[in-house]
Structure 1
Protein backbone atom coordinates (compact mmCIF):
# COMPACT_ATOMS: atom_id res chain seq x y z
CA UNK A 1 0.00 0.00 0.00
CA UNK A 2 1.34 3.42 -0.95
CA UNK A 3 0.47 7.03 -0.31
CA UNK A 4 -1.92 8.55 -2.84
CA UNK A 5 -0.79 10.30 -5.97
CA UNK A 6 -2.16 13.79 -6.59
CA UNK A 7 -4.65 12.35 -9.09
CA UNK A 8 -5.80 9.70 -6.63
CA UNK A 9 -6.21 12.34 -3.94
CA UNK A 10 -8.46 14.40 -6.20
CA UNK A 11 -10.51 11.28 -6.96
CA UNK A 12 -10.97 10.52 -3.27
CA UNK A 13 -11.93 14.11 -2.48
CA UNK A 14 -14.54 14.00 -5.23
CA UNK A 15 -15.88 10.74 -3.81
CA UNK A 16 -16.33 12.42 -0.42
CA UNK A 17 -18.11 15.39 -2.01
CA UNK A 18 -20.45 13.15 -3.99
CA UNK A 19 -21.20 10.69 -1.18
CA UNK A 20 -24.77 10.46 0.07
CA UNK A 21 -26.44 7.51 1.81
CA UNK A 22 -28.46 5.52 -0.71
CA UNK A 23 -31.34 5.12 1.74
CA UNK A 24 -33.69 8.09 1.50
CA UNK A 25 -34.62 7.86 5.20
CA UNK A 26 -31.00 8.34 6.30
CA UNK A 27 -29.76 11.92 6.02
CA UNK A 28 -26.16 11.27 6.98
CA UNK A 29 -23.70 8.62 8.07
CA UNK A 30 -22.91 9.03 11.77
CA UNK A 31 -19.40 8.17 12.99
CA UNK A 32 -18.71 7.80 16.72
CA UNK A 33 -15.12 8.34 17.86
CA UNK A 34 -13.78 6.97 21.14
CA UNK A 35 -10.46 6.00 22.70
CA UNK A 36 -7.96 6.80 25.47
CA UNK A 37 -7.42 10.30 26.82
CA UNK A 38 -4.96 12.21 24.66
CA UNK A 39 -5.23 9.80 21.73
CA UNK A 40 -6.01 12.54 19.23
CA UNK A 41 -9.75 11.95 18.75
CA UNK A 42 -10.66 15.62 18.43
CA UNK A 43 -7.52 16.20 16.37
CA UNK A 44 -8.55 13.45 13.96
CA UNK A 45 -11.98 15.01 13.43
CA UNK A 46 -10.34 18.39 12.96
CA UNK A 47 -7.81 16.88 10.54
CA UNK A 48 -10.61 15.37 8.43
CA UNK A 49 -12.22 18.81 8.41
CA UNK A 50 -8.93 20.36 7.27
CA UNK A 51 -8.36 17.85 4.48
CA UNK A 52 -11.87 18.22 3.07
CA UNK A 53 -11.86 22.01 3.26
CA UNK A 54 -8.34 22.31 1.85
CA UNK A 55 -7.00 24.42 4.69
CA UNK A 56 -6.01 24.06 8.34
CA UNK A 57 -9.06 24.51 10.53
CA UNK A 58 -9.42 24.78 14.28
CA UNK A 59 -12.71 23.05 14.98
CA UNK A 60 -13.21 20.97 17.06
CA UNK A 61 -10.43 21.96 19.43
CA UNK A 62 -7.88 19.29 20.17
CA UNK A 63 -7.08 17.85 23.59
CA UNK A 64 -5.22 20.44 25.61
CA UNK A 65 -3.87 18.03 28.21
CA UNK A 66 -2.96 14.42 27.52
CA UNK A 67 -3.76 13.51 31.14
CA UNK A 68 -7.29 14.90 31.01
CA UNK A 69 -9.97 14.59 28.36
CA UNK A 70 -10.66 17.87 26.59
CA UNK A 71 -14.06 16.70 25.35
CA UNK A 72 -16.71 17.24 28.03
CA UNK A 73 -19.93 17.33 26.00
CA UNK A 74 -21.47 15.10 23.36
CA UNK A 75 -21.64 17.04 20.11
CA UNK A 76 -22.27 16.34 16.44
CA UNK A 77 -19.70 17.85 14.07
CA UNK A 78 -20.73 18.63 10.52
CA UNK A 79 -18.20 19.52 7.83
CA UNK A 80 -18.96 22.41 5.52
CA UNK A 81 -18.95 21.66 1.80
CA UNK A 82 -18.71 24.73 -0.38
CA UNK A 83 -21.06 27.49 0.65
CA UNK A 84 -22.28 27.94 4.27
CA UNK A 85 -25.27 25.72 4.99
CA UNK A 86 -24.08 22.97 2.67
CA UNK A 87 -22.52 19.98 4.46
CA UNK A 88 -20.99 16.59 3.70
CA UNK A 89 -23.34 13.66 4.25
CA UNK A 90 -21.36 12.23 7.14
CA UNK A 91 -21.01 13.58 10.67
CA UNK A 92 -18.72 12.85 13.61
CA UNK A 93 -19.47 12.57 17.30
CA UNK A 94 -16.60 12.98 19.76
CA UNK A 95 -16.59 11.48 23.26
CA UNK A 96 -14.78 11.93 26.55
CA UNK A 97 -11.60 9.88 26.67
CA UNK A 98 -11.29 6.41 28.19
CA UNK A 99 -8.96 6.82 31.17
CA UNK A 100 -6.54 4.24 32.43
CA UNK A 101 -8.21 4.08 35.86
CA UNK A 102 -11.14 1.73 36.33
CA UNK A 103 -13.61 4.45 37.41
CA UNK A 104 -12.25 7.37 35.37
CA UNK A 105 -13.11 8.83 32.01
CA UNK A 106 -16.18 8.10 29.94
CA UNK A 107 -18.47 5.33 31.19
CA UNK A 108 -18.56 2.49 28.61
CA UNK A 109 -22.36 2.47 28.90
CA UNK A 110 -22.42 6.07 27.64
CA UNK A 111 -20.69 4.92 24.45
CA UNK A 112 -23.27 2.18 24.07
CA UNK A 113 -26.17 4.62 24.61
CA UNK A 114 -24.65 6.95 22.01
CA UNK A 115 -24.34 4.08 19.53
CA UNK A 116 -28.02 3.29 19.98
CA UNK A 117 -28.96 6.93 19.42
CA UNK A 118 -30.14 7.58 22.98
CA UNK A 119 -27.72 10.47 23.63
CA UNK A 120 -28.65 14.01 22.60
CA UNK A 121 -26.19 16.76 21.71
CA UNK A 122 -25.20 18.79 24.75
CA UNK A 123 -25.01 15.90 27.21
CA UNK A 124 -22.14 16.52 29.63
CA UNK A 125 -20.09 13.40 30.30
CA UNK A 126 -19.55 12.47 33.93
CA UNK A 127 -16.49 10.32 34.73
CA UNK A 128 -17.53 6.92 36.01
CA UNK A 129 -21.31 7.47 35.61
CA UNK A 130 -23.70 7.02 32.69
CA UNK A 131 -26.60 8.91 31.14
CA UNK A 132 -29.86 8.09 32.94
CA UNK A 133 -33.26 7.71 31.29
CA UNK A 134 -34.70 10.62 33.27
CA UNK A 135 -32.01 13.00 32.00
CA UNK A 136 -33.15 15.74 29.59
CA UNK A 137 -30.45 14.63 27.15
CA UNK A 138 -31.76 11.06 26.99
CA UNK A 139 -33.42 10.34 23.64
CA UNK A 140 -36.10 7.75 24.33
CA UNK A 141 -37.12 7.23 20.70
CA UNK A 142 -34.05 7.48 18.46
CA UNK A 143 -34.47 7.53 14.69
CA UNK A 144 -32.14 6.03 12.10
CA UNK A 145 -30.46 9.42 11.86
CA UNK A 146 -29.69 9.41 15.60
CA UNK A 147 -28.00 6.00 15.56
CA UNK A 148 -24.31 5.38 14.92
CA UNK A 149 -23.28 3.58 11.75
CA UNK A 150 -19.51 3.34 12.34
CA UNK A 151 -17.48 3.08 15.56
CA UNK A 152 -13.90 4.36 15.37
CA UNK A 153 -11.39 3.67 18.13
CA UNK A 154 -8.53 6.18 18.11
CA UNK A 155 -5.28 5.24 19.89
CA UNK A 156 -1.82 6.86 19.91
CA UNK A 157 0.95 4.66 18.53
CA UNK A 158 3.46 5.77 21.16
CA UNK A 159 1.13 4.85 24.04
CA UNK A 160 -0.10 1.42 22.90
CA UNK A 161 2.60 -0.45 24.85
CA UNK A 162 1.52 1.49 27.97
CA UNK A 163 -2.22 0.71 27.85
CA UNK A 164 -3.40 -0.67 31.17
CA UNK A 165 -5.53 -3.80 31.53
CA UNK A 166 -8.40 -1.57 32.68
CA UNK A 167 -8.22 0.63 29.60
CA UNK A 168 -8.03 -2.39 27.28
CA UNK A 169 -11.03 -3.95 29.04
CA UNK A 170 -13.12 -0.79 28.50
CA UNK A 171 -12.23 -0.73 24.81
CA UNK A 172 -13.07 -4.43 24.45
CA UNK A 173 -16.37 -4.02 26.31
CA UNK A 174 -17.36 -1.22 23.95
CA UNK A 175 -16.23 -3.29 20.99
CA UNK A 176 -18.30 -6.31 22.08
CA UNK A 177 -21.47 -4.25 22.39
CA UNK A 178 -20.86 -2.69 18.96
CA UNK A 179 -20.48 -6.21 17.60
CA UNK A 180 -23.83 -7.20 19.13
CA UNK A 181 -25.39 -4.20 17.40
CA UNK A 182 -23.54 -5.26 14.21
CA UNK A 183 -22.00 -1.79 13.97
CA UNK A 184 -18.79 -1.89 11.89
CA UNK A 185 -15.61 -0.93 13.71
CA UNK A 186 -12.15 0.18 12.79
CA UNK A 187 -9.19 1.75 14.55
CA UNK A 188 -7.15 4.83 13.81
CA UNK A 189 -3.54 4.82 15.01
CA UNK A 190 -2.37 8.39 15.57
CA UNK A 191 0.99 9.98 16.46
CA UNK A 192 2.82 7.48 14.26
CA UNK A 193 5.71 9.91 13.86
CA UNK A 194 6.30 9.84 17.63
CA UNK A 195 6.45 6.05 17.66
CA UNK A 196 8.94 5.62 14.84
CA UNK A 197 11.99 7.80 13.96
CA UNK A 198 11.84 6.43 10.40
CA UNK A 199 8.35 7.91 9.95
CA UNK A 200 9.28 11.12 11.74
CA UNK A 201 12.02 11.59 9.17
CA UNK A 202 9.70 10.96 6.22
CA UNK A 203 5.98 10.16 6.40
CA UNK A 204 6.30 8.16 3.19
CA UNK A 205 8.03 5.46 5.28
CA UNK A 206 4.75 4.67 7.04
CA UNK A 207 4.23 1.39 5.16
CA UNK A 208 7.90 0.41 5.41
CA UNK A 209 8.18 0.75 9.17
CA UNK A 210 8.56 -2.59 10.95
CA UNK A 211 8.20 -0.82 14.30
CA UNK A 212 4.81 0.64 13.37
CA UNK A 213 3.63 -2.72 12.02
CA UNK A 214 4.61 -4.40 15.30
CA UNK A 215 2.79 -1.69 17.26
CA UNK A 216 -0.36 -2.14 15.17
CA UNK A 217 -0.16 -5.92 15.59
CA UNK A 218 0.15 -5.48 19.35
CA UNK A 219 -2.99 -3.35 19.47
CA UNK A 220 -4.82 -5.81 17.21
CA UNK A 221 -4.01 -8.65 19.59
CA UNK A 222 -4.99 -6.61 22.65
CA UNK A 223 -8.50 -5.64 21.53
CA UNK A 224 -9.26 -8.04 18.69
CA UNK A 225 -9.57 -5.57 15.81
CA UNK A 226 -8.15 -7.17 12.63
CA UNK A 227 -5.06 -5.58 11.11
CA UNK A 228 -6.98 -4.85 7.90
CA UNK A 229 -9.30 -2.61 9.94
CA UNK A 230 -6.50 -0.56 11.53
CA UNK A 231 -5.29 2.61 9.77
CA UNK A 232 -2.25 4.75 10.62
CA UNK A 233 -2.63 8.53 10.34
CA UNK A 234 -0.72 11.70 11.11
CA UNK A 235 -3.06 14.36 12.48
CA UNK A 236 -2.62 18.03 11.76
CA UNK A 237 -1.17 19.13 15.10
CA UNK A 238 1.48 21.76 14.39
CA UNK A 239 1.25 22.36 10.65
CA UNK A 240 0.04 25.68 9.25
CA UNK A 241 -0.55 24.35 5.71
CA UNK A 242 -2.01 21.10 4.42
CA UNK A 243 0.35 18.43 3.09
CA UNK A 244 -0.40 15.75 0.51
CA UNK A 245 1.29 12.95 2.51
CA UNK A 246 -0.78 13.75 5.61
CA UNK A 247 -3.97 14.09 3.54
CA UNK A 248 -3.32 10.74 1.88
CA UNK A 249 -3.40 8.76 5.12
CA UNK A 250 -6.44 10.60 6.46
CA UNK A 251 -8.38 10.14 3.21
CA UNK A 252 -7.52 6.44 3.13
CA UNK A 253 -8.99 5.99 6.61
CA UNK A 254 -12.01 8.17 5.84
CA UNK A 255 -12.79 6.18 2.67
CA UNK A 256 -12.95 2.98 4.72
CA UNK A 257 -15.13 4.64 7.35
CA UNK A 258 -17.61 5.72 4.68
CA UNK A 259 -17.58 2.38 2.86
CA UNK A 260 -18.11 0.45 6.11
CA UNK A 261 -20.90 2.80 7.15
CA UNK A 262 -22.68 2.71 3.80
CA UNK A 263 -22.73 -1.08 3.86
CA UNK A 264 -24.19 -1.01 7.37
CA UNK A 265 -26.85 1.55 6.39
CA UNK A 266 -27.95 -0.62 3.49
CA UNK A 267 -28.40 -3.56 5.87
CA UNK A 268 -30.22 -1.58 8.59
CA UNK A 269 -33.81 -2.48 9.39
CA UNK A 270 -36.39 0.29 9.15
Structure 2
Protein backbone atom coordinates (compact mmCIF):
# COMPACT_ATOMS: atom_id res chain seq x y z
CA UNK A 1 0.00 0.00 0.00
CA UNK A 2 2.78 2.41 0.91
CA UNK A 3 4.75 1.87 -2.33
CA UNK A 4 1.61 2.19 -4.53
CA UNK A 5 0.52 5.35 -2.72
CA UNK A 6 3.97 6.90 -3.21
CA UNK A 7 3.66 6.60 -7.00
CA UNK A 8 0.99 9.31 -7.03
CA UNK A 9 2.42 11.87 -4.62
CA UNK A 10 5.74 12.90 -3.08
CA UNK A 11 6.50 10.46 -0.29
CA UNK A 12 8.36 12.95 1.92
CA UNK A 13 7.32 16.23 3.46
CA UNK A 14 9.63 19.19 2.93
CA UNK A 15 9.89 19.70 6.68
CA UNK A 16 9.52 17.07 9.44
CA UNK A 17 6.26 17.29 11.40
CA UNK A 18 8.28 16.56 14.56
CA UNK A 19 11.83 17.79 15.07
CA UNK A 20 14.22 15.00 16.09
CA UNK A 21 17.93 15.63 15.61
CA UNK A 22 20.67 13.03 15.96
CA UNK A 23 23.01 15.92 16.87
CA UNK A 24 20.94 16.92 19.92
CA UNK A 25 22.40 15.13 22.96
CA UNK A 26 20.08 16.73 25.52
CA UNK A 27 17.61 13.82 25.56
CA UNK A 28 20.42 11.37 26.32
CA UNK A 29 21.75 13.62 29.07
CA UNK A 30 18.24 13.90 30.51
CA UNK A 31 17.57 10.16 30.77
CA UNK A 32 21.08 9.49 32.08
CA UNK A 33 20.73 12.02 34.88
CA UNK A 34 17.08 11.32 35.74
CA UNK A 35 16.18 10.68 39.39
CA UNK A 36 12.57 10.55 40.66
CA UNK A 37 11.70 13.48 42.90
CA UNK A 38 9.19 11.31 44.76
CA UNK A 39 11.31 9.58 47.41
CA UNK A 40 8.78 6.75 47.76
CA UNK A 41 10.25 5.19 44.62
CA UNK A 42 13.76 4.37 43.46
CA UNK A 43 12.71 3.53 39.92
CA UNK A 44 10.12 4.88 37.49
CA UNK A 45 8.18 1.84 36.20
CA UNK A 46 7.20 1.70 32.50
CA UNK A 47 4.89 -1.11 31.34
CA UNK A 48 4.97 -2.15 27.67
CA UNK A 49 1.99 -3.90 26.10
CA UNK A 50 0.75 -4.63 22.60
CA UNK A 51 0.21 -7.40 20.04
CA UNK A 52 2.50 -10.41 19.87
CA UNK A 53 5.61 -9.60 17.81
CA UNK A 54 5.15 -5.83 18.02
CA UNK A 55 8.70 -5.24 19.23
CA UNK A 56 8.26 -4.72 22.97
CA UNK A 57 11.35 -6.70 23.98
CA UNK A 58 13.26 -5.32 21.01
CA UNK A 59 12.51 -1.82 22.25
CA UNK A 60 13.97 -2.68 25.66
CA UNK A 61 17.10 -3.98 23.94
CA UNK A 62 17.22 -0.85 21.77
CA UNK A 63 17.09 1.41 24.83
CA UNK A 64 19.89 -0.67 26.33
CA UNK A 65 21.86 -0.17 23.12
CA UNK A 66 21.37 3.61 23.22
CA UNK A 67 22.43 3.85 26.87
CA UNK A 68 25.51 1.67 26.41
CA UNK A 69 26.51 3.16 23.06
CA UNK A 70 26.80 -0.29 21.49
CA UNK A 71 24.43 -3.12 20.51
CA UNK A 72 23.10 -4.78 23.66
CA UNK A 73 20.50 -7.40 24.53
CA UNK A 74 18.92 -8.58 27.75
CA UNK A 75 15.24 -9.02 26.91
CA UNK A 76 14.02 -12.04 24.98
CA UNK A 77 12.25 -10.91 21.82
CA UNK A 78 8.51 -11.58 21.51
CA UNK A 79 8.29 -12.55 17.85
CA UNK A 80 6.82 -15.97 18.65
CA UNK A 81 3.51 -16.47 20.39
CA UNK A 82 3.40 -18.79 23.38
CA UNK A 83 1.08 -19.95 26.13
CA UNK A 84 3.07 -18.38 28.96
CA UNK A 85 5.38 -15.47 29.66
CA UNK A 86 7.24 -14.69 32.86
CA UNK A 87 6.84 -11.26 34.46
CA UNK A 88 10.25 -9.56 34.51
CA UNK A 89 11.58 -6.16 35.44
CA UNK A 90 14.37 -4.96 33.18
CA UNK A 91 16.90 -2.64 34.78
CA UNK A 92 19.64 -0.87 32.86
CA UNK A 93 23.28 -0.97 33.95
CA UNK A 94 24.78 2.50 34.42
CA UNK A 95 28.10 1.95 36.14
CA UNK A 96 29.59 -0.63 38.53
CA UNK A 97 26.98 -1.09 41.24
CA UNK A 98 24.57 1.48 39.77
CA UNK A 99 21.41 1.23 37.66
CA UNK A 100 19.35 3.81 35.79
CA UNK A 101 16.36 5.21 37.68
CA UNK A 102 13.73 3.81 35.31
CA UNK A 103 12.76 0.21 34.60
CA UNK A 104 10.65 -1.61 32.01
CA UNK A 105 8.13 -4.39 32.42
CA UNK A 106 7.43 -6.49 29.35
CA UNK A 107 4.39 -8.78 29.37
CA UNK A 108 2.86 -11.43 27.15
CA UNK A 109 1.48 -10.03 23.89
CA UNK A 110 -2.17 -9.46 23.05
CA UNK A 111 -3.86 -11.76 20.54
CA UNK A 112 -7.11 -11.34 18.63
CA UNK A 113 -8.72 -14.49 20.06
CA UNK A 114 -10.77 -13.91 23.19
CA UNK A 115 -8.80 -16.54 25.12
CA UNK A 116 -5.45 -15.96 23.37
CA UNK A 117 -2.47 -13.97 24.60
CA UNK A 118 -2.42 -12.19 27.92
CA UNK A 119 -5.68 -11.71 29.76
CA UNK A 120 -6.64 -8.02 29.84
CA UNK A 121 -7.52 -8.33 33.53
CA UNK A 122 -3.95 -9.49 34.24
CA UNK A 123 -2.66 -6.29 32.61
CA UNK A 124 -5.00 -4.28 34.85
CA UNK A 125 -3.60 -6.10 37.88
CA UNK A 126 -0.07 -5.29 36.70
CA UNK A 127 -1.01 -1.59 36.48
CA UNK A 128 -1.96 -1.68 40.15
CA UNK A 129 1.21 -3.52 41.15
CA UNK A 130 -0.53 -6.79 42.03
CA UNK A 131 1.71 -8.99 39.82
CA UNK A 132 4.79 -10.33 41.58
CA UNK A 133 8.20 -10.50 39.88
CA UNK A 134 8.63 -13.92 38.27
CA UNK A 135 4.91 -14.67 37.90
CA UNK A 136 4.25 -16.73 34.78
CA UNK A 137 1.29 -15.33 32.86
CA UNK A 138 -0.91 -18.07 31.41
CA UNK A 139 -3.41 -17.69 28.58
CA UNK A 140 -5.80 -20.10 30.23
CA UNK A 141 -5.62 -18.87 33.81
CA UNK A 142 -6.29 -15.39 35.14
CA UNK A 143 -4.26 -14.27 38.17
CA UNK A 144 -6.41 -14.02 41.29
CA UNK A 145 -5.97 -12.83 44.85
CA UNK A 146 -4.48 -15.63 46.91
CA UNK A 147 -2.43 -17.05 44.03
CA UNK A 148 1.35 -17.33 44.53
CA UNK A 149 1.99 -14.62 41.96
CA UNK A 150 -0.46 -12.13 43.45
CA UNK A 151 0.93 -9.17 45.39
CA UNK A 152 -1.73 -8.23 47.94
CA UNK A 153 0.01 -5.15 49.29
CA UNK A 154 1.71 -3.29 46.40
CA UNK A 155 3.82 -0.25 47.16
CA UNK A 156 4.08 2.77 44.88
CA UNK A 157 7.35 1.24 43.66
CA UNK A 158 5.44 -1.88 42.52
CA UNK A 159 2.79 0.05 40.60
CA UNK A 160 3.08 1.14 36.96
CA UNK A 161 3.83 4.84 36.42
CA UNK A 162 3.67 4.92 32.59
CA UNK A 163 1.82 2.64 30.16
CA UNK A 164 3.22 2.30 26.64
CA UNK A 165 1.44 0.56 23.77
CA UNK A 166 3.77 -0.92 21.14
CA UNK A 167 2.42 -1.60 17.63
CA UNK A 168 4.23 -2.14 14.30
CA UNK A 169 3.70 0.82 11.96
CA UNK A 170 3.17 -1.52 9.01
CA UNK A 171 0.36 -3.32 10.90
CA UNK A 172 -1.72 -0.35 12.11
CA UNK A 173 -4.29 -0.76 9.33
CA UNK A 174 -4.47 -4.51 9.92
CA UNK A 175 -5.15 -4.47 13.66
CA UNK A 176 -8.21 -6.59 14.34
CA UNK A 177 -11.24 -5.14 16.09
CA UNK A 178 -10.55 -7.54 18.97
CA UNK A 179 -6.98 -6.28 19.47
CA UNK A 180 -8.10 -2.64 19.28
CA UNK A 181 -10.83 -3.35 21.84
CA UNK A 182 -8.28 -4.90 24.22
CA UNK A 183 -5.88 -1.96 23.83
CA UNK A 184 -8.71 0.51 24.48
CA UNK A 185 -9.82 -1.49 27.54
CA UNK A 186 -6.31 -1.38 28.99
CA UNK A 187 -5.94 2.31 28.21
CA UNK A 188 -9.25 3.06 29.94
CA UNK A 189 -8.07 1.20 33.05
CA UNK A 190 -4.85 3.25 33.05
CA UNK A 191 -6.80 6.49 32.63
CA UNK A 192 -9.01 5.64 35.61
CA UNK A 193 -5.85 5.23 37.68
CA UNK A 194 -4.38 8.47 36.34
CA UNK A 195 -1.52 6.60 34.66
CA UNK A 196 -0.22 8.34 31.51
CA UNK A 197 -0.43 6.34 28.30
CA UNK A 198 1.86 6.68 25.27
CA UNK A 199 2.42 4.62 22.13
CA UNK A 200 5.34 3.75 19.90
CA UNK A 201 5.00 2.54 16.32
CA UNK A 202 7.90 0.25 15.44
CA UNK A 203 9.20 -1.29 12.17
CA UNK A 204 9.06 2.09 10.42
CA UNK A 205 11.67 0.89 7.93
CA UNK A 206 9.39 -1.98 6.88
CA UNK A 207 6.47 0.40 6.43
CA UNK A 208 8.22 3.13 4.40
CA UNK A 209 10.96 2.66 1.76
CA UNK A 210 12.21 6.24 2.26
CA UNK A 211 12.85 5.54 5.93
CA UNK A 212 14.56 2.26 5.08
CA UNK A 213 17.00 4.29 2.96
CA UNK A 214 17.49 6.99 5.59
CA UNK A 215 16.22 6.71 9.17
CA UNK A 216 16.29 10.49 9.59
CA UNK A 217 13.23 10.60 7.29
CA UNK A 218 10.99 9.08 10.00
CA UNK A 219 9.09 12.29 10.71
CA UNK A 220 9.13 13.43 7.08
CA UNK A 221 7.35 10.34 5.75
CA UNK A 222 3.80 11.12 4.63
CA UNK A 223 2.90 7.45 4.84
CA UNK A 224 4.05 7.15 8.46
CA UNK A 225 2.24 10.40 9.35
CA UNK A 226 -0.86 8.77 7.91
CA UNK A 227 -0.34 5.76 10.19
CA UNK A 228 0.10 7.99 13.24
CA UNK A 229 -3.12 9.85 12.38
CA UNK A 230 -4.94 6.53 11.93
CA UNK A 231 -3.69 5.21 15.27
CA UNK A 232 -4.65 8.51 16.92
CA UNK A 233 -8.22 8.14 15.59
CA UNK A 234 -8.46 4.48 16.59
CA UNK A 235 -7.43 4.97 20.23
CA UNK A 236 -7.98 8.64 20.91
CA UNK A 237 -4.36 9.12 21.98
CA UNK A 238 -3.07 12.67 21.49
CA UNK A 239 -0.66 12.96 18.57
CA UNK A 240 2.12 14.16 20.89
CA UNK A 241 1.86 10.82 22.73
CA UNK A 242 2.55 8.69 19.63
CA UNK A 243 6.15 8.10 18.55
CA UNK A 244 7.84 6.49 15.56
CA UNK A 245 11.08 4.53 15.80
CA UNK A 246 13.14 1.68 14.44
CA UNK A 247 14.35 -0.94 16.90
CA UNK A 248 17.83 -2.39 16.66
CA UNK A 249 17.80 -5.82 15.01
CA UNK A 250 20.66 -6.71 12.63
CA UNK A 251 22.83 -3.63 13.33
CA UNK A 252 26.27 -4.23 14.85
CA UNK A 253 27.07 -0.54 15.45
CA UNK A 254 25.21 2.20 17.31
CA UNK A 255 23.35 4.51 14.92
CA UNK A 256 22.82 8.17 15.86
CA UNK A 257 19.74 8.57 13.64
CA UNK A 258 18.02 5.55 15.19
CA UNK A 259 19.09 6.65 18.66
CA UNK A 260 17.53 10.10 18.21
CA UNK A 261 14.05 8.67 17.59
CA UNK A 262 14.37 6.16 20.45
CA UNK A 263 15.51 8.87 22.88
CA UNK A 264 12.72 11.19 21.80
CA UNK A 265 10.18 8.55 22.87
CA UNK A 266 12.08 7.51 25.99
CA UNK A 267 12.41 11.07 27.31
CA UNK A 268 8.67 11.61 26.96
CA UNK A 269 7.95 8.36 28.83
CA UNK A 270 10.19 9.44 31.70
CA UNK A 271 8.77 12.99 31.71
CA UNK A 272 5.15 11.79 31.80
CA UNK A 273 5.96 9.24 34.49
CA UNK A 274 7.71 11.88 36.60
CA UNK A 275 4.67 14.16 36.29
CA UNK A 276 2.43 11.29 37.43
CA UNK A 277 4.58 10.60 40.49
CA UNK A 278 4.71 14.28 41.42
CA UNK A 279 0.94 14.73 41.04
CA UNK A 280 0.02 11.89 43.42
Q: TM-score, normalised to structure 1's length?
A: 0.94
> Does the residue aligned with 1:151 lie in a helix, a strand or coil?
strand
Q: Work out the CA distance in 2 between the residues paired with 1:125 and 1:24.
A: 31
> Does the residue aligned with 2:66 lie in a helix, a strand or coil?
helix
Post-superposition offset of 1:63: 2.3
Q: Which residue of 1 aligns with 2:167?
A: 155
Q: 1:2 aligns with which of 19, 24, 39?
A: 19
How does 1:76-87 map onto structure 2 within 5 Å?
76-83=89-96, 85-87=97-99
Q: Which residue of 1 aligns with 2:36?
A: 21
Q: How many residues are treated as equivalent by the alignment?
A: 263
How does 1:119-130 map onto structure 2 within 5 Å?
119-130=131-142
CA RMSD after TM alignment: 1.3
> Measured at CA, do residues 219 and 71 of structure 1 come closer, stay the same or move farther in structure 2, by a change above 3 Å?
farther
Q: Work out the CA distance in 2 between the residues paired with 1:153 and 1:167.
A: 12
> Does the residue aligned with 1:248 lie in a helix, a strand or coil?
helix
Post-superposition offset of 1:70: 9.2
Post-superposition offset of 1:15: 1.4
Post-superposition offset of 1:223: 1.5
Post-superposition offset of 1:69: 5.0
> Measured at CA, do residues 195 and 219 of structure 1 come closer, stay the same or move farther in structure 2, by a change above 3 Å?
same
> Measured at CA, do residues 249 and 69 of structure 1 come closer, stay the same or move farther in structure 2, by a change above 3 Å?
farther
Deviation sequence 1:172-220 (CA, Å, 0-9, x none): 0000000000100000000011111111111111111110011111111
Larger CA deviation: 128-137 vs 190-199? 128-137
Post-superposition offset of 1:267: 1.0
> Does the residue aligned with 1:72 lie in a helix, a strand or coil?
strand
Q: Does 1:49 align with 2:64?
A: yes
Q: 2:226 aligns with which of 214, 218, 237?
A: 214
Q: Are the aligned partners of 1:149 and 1:261 in contact in 2 as well (CA < 8 Å)?
A: yes
> Does the residue aligned with 2:138 lie in a helix, a strand or coil?
coil
Q: Are the aligned partners of 1:37 and 1:69 in contact in 2 as well (CA < 8 Å)?
A: no
Post-superposition offset of 1:128: 4.6
Q: Are the aligned partners of 1:31 and 1:149 in contact in 2 as well (CA < 8 Å)?
A: yes
Q: TM-score, normalised to structure 2's length?
A: 0.91
> Does the residue aligned with 1:125 lie in a helix, a strand or coil?
strand
Q: Work out the CA distance in 2 between the residues paired with 1:235 and 1:71.
A: 24
Return structure 1 stretches of 4+ with deviation > 3 angstroms: none
Q: Which residue of 2 aligns with 1:37?
A: 52
> Measured at CA, do residues 134 and 262 of structure 1 come closer, stay the same or move farther in structure 2, by a change above 3 Å?
same
Q: Which residue of 2 aligns with 1:189?
A: 201
Post-superposition offset of 1:129: 3.3
Post-superposition offset of 1:89: 0.4
